[in-house]
Each structure stands twice: as C-alpha cells, then as structure tokens.
Structure 1
C-alpha cells in the first residue's frame, strides 16, 4: 500500500495504479467498443445478405410460368417506374368554374401604375440604348415613378368601414 492509501483509512481496496496505467497504455490507439444502441459505422455494415430478402412485386400480367416464377433473384424485377396509370375518362376531370372578372379601375389608378412601371423602364431603356441622359428623360423617369407611387399610396383604403366610426359602438355583426 502507498502512503496515500494508508492515510485515507476508509477501508477501501487500494487502487493498483501501475496496472491501470499498463491497461491504458496497452489499449492506446484501439477503437473503443460501442455501447448498446449505437448505429454501426458505414464500413461495418454488410448489405450482401439483405439483397435476397427484398420482396419483389409480381408483374402486372400476373405470374408467368417462365423464369420469373422461379424466384425474385432470377426473374425480371419490377419497381415503381414499371407502374402504369389507368386510362382517365374525359368526364372524370374537374373543370374549375370561370373566375370572376377583375374589378374595374378608374383612369387615375391606371395612369399611376403606368407612371410607376414606365418611369424606371424609360431610364433602363435609355441606358441600354446608350442615349444621353437629358433633363427631360431623368425628370420623366424619376418624377413619373415618384408621382405614380405617391398617387397609389394616397388612394389606398385603410380597411375601415365609414358607417361605423364610433369607437364605442361595440362589435359589428
């Protein structure tokens, strides 16, 4: 016993440190054993024995008397790409109803959208055609965009009904 074990005096068996170190050094570099419930590593999996146990569907025509009936490994294999859909009848197709027409907009909204989309488009076309950026092209492009955008923002609805402006009126049914 070492002096340290004698000083403890708790009655436990002394640890053989030399044997423990010898065991650690002997096992250096070895892969530790996986605990139960750990997935095997990719190189340790043997997939050769599972090939024969995969179920194979019979062909759509039924079992044939030839080599296909001898077993799944010896006959032609069928899979999901060999499946063919049944012929659809024309009366079984869903025909959606005609969508409702788009709401009519007033002339101001149409012109605002033309300005918002046309202003930057005018500038892009001028750059692509390598035209000189004169004051009127820049004014139409930037001014048209800003004016059309401001017009569209001011014409937005706030989503409130004008009939019920009293805040104490309660719920509207």
Structure 2
C-alpha cells in the first residue's frame, strides 16, 4: 500500500548524523549547468549517420578510429547557390511550337441550354418555396393564424414536394452497364 505523510512523521530517519544540505546541492547544480556529464563506463557513444555502416562496437575507453565508409548513408544532395532544381527555367517557346490557328489556350464549348420547365414543375416549386414563406410572413407581420392560412402554407409545401418527388426521372432507361468507367 502507499505510504502516507502521517506514517513518515512517526519514524526516525535511517541516518541520524547526516543532514541534507539543500543549498550546497543547488550550488552544485548551478555550477555544473551546461556541462555534459561523462558517459558511464562501457556505454557506446553516439554515432553519426555516416558511421552507422561501421559494425565495430566502440566504447568511451577506446579512441575511435577515423574510418570513412565506402558511401555515405542518408545525407542529402546539396547544390551550389543558384544551381538547383528550383532554379531551372523552361526554355522560351519558339514559333514552331504552336499551330497557326491555335492560340495556346483552351476555350470550352458553349454549354447546352437548360431544359425548359413545364408548368406543373413551376407551380410545384412555387408551392414548396411559397408555403413556408407565407407562414413566415404571417408570423413576422402578426397576422391571425386562421385555418385557411395554415392549410395553404403547410398543404402547399407538402403538395409541391410530393409533386416534385413523383415527377423525378428514374434511371431505368439506361440499361447500359454502369461499370464501364468514364465515357469520353
């Protein structure tokens, strides 16, 4: 079980004569700030990427030999200033590159006109949008909500929505295989 502070107060310390000098400990920490502690005996020093190809185990007791691997590992390609992949410029186009009638840019063809909506679809959209707008105006302007206003608003919305859903086209006319991919 965990030990509580009240249990520690009743016990006597193990070392009666040795007192911990906190000020001396802080002075030692501050004096050694920035110094790298020595590696423990038998530990391996940090190897750079170039030295990873060497398979010998080096310790701190031995002086490392200066061996260059056959080819550096990792590393990156460095370029001289002004000579890099981002400094590449495309050659200027010549007159032979373009056709006489081609100006070098794409002009899309005119899109086909939208299909003309029939009268039934127009009234259905008017009912779908007009019913809620009529009810909103009645609330904002403080009109009395009579039965005919409510019937026109809600009934118009539901009737127009049902009309639009019933008139939706089905894709049953396309009996072609849908898995053919893009058709150009």
TM-score, L = length of structure 1: 0.40
TM-score, L = length of structure 2: 0.38
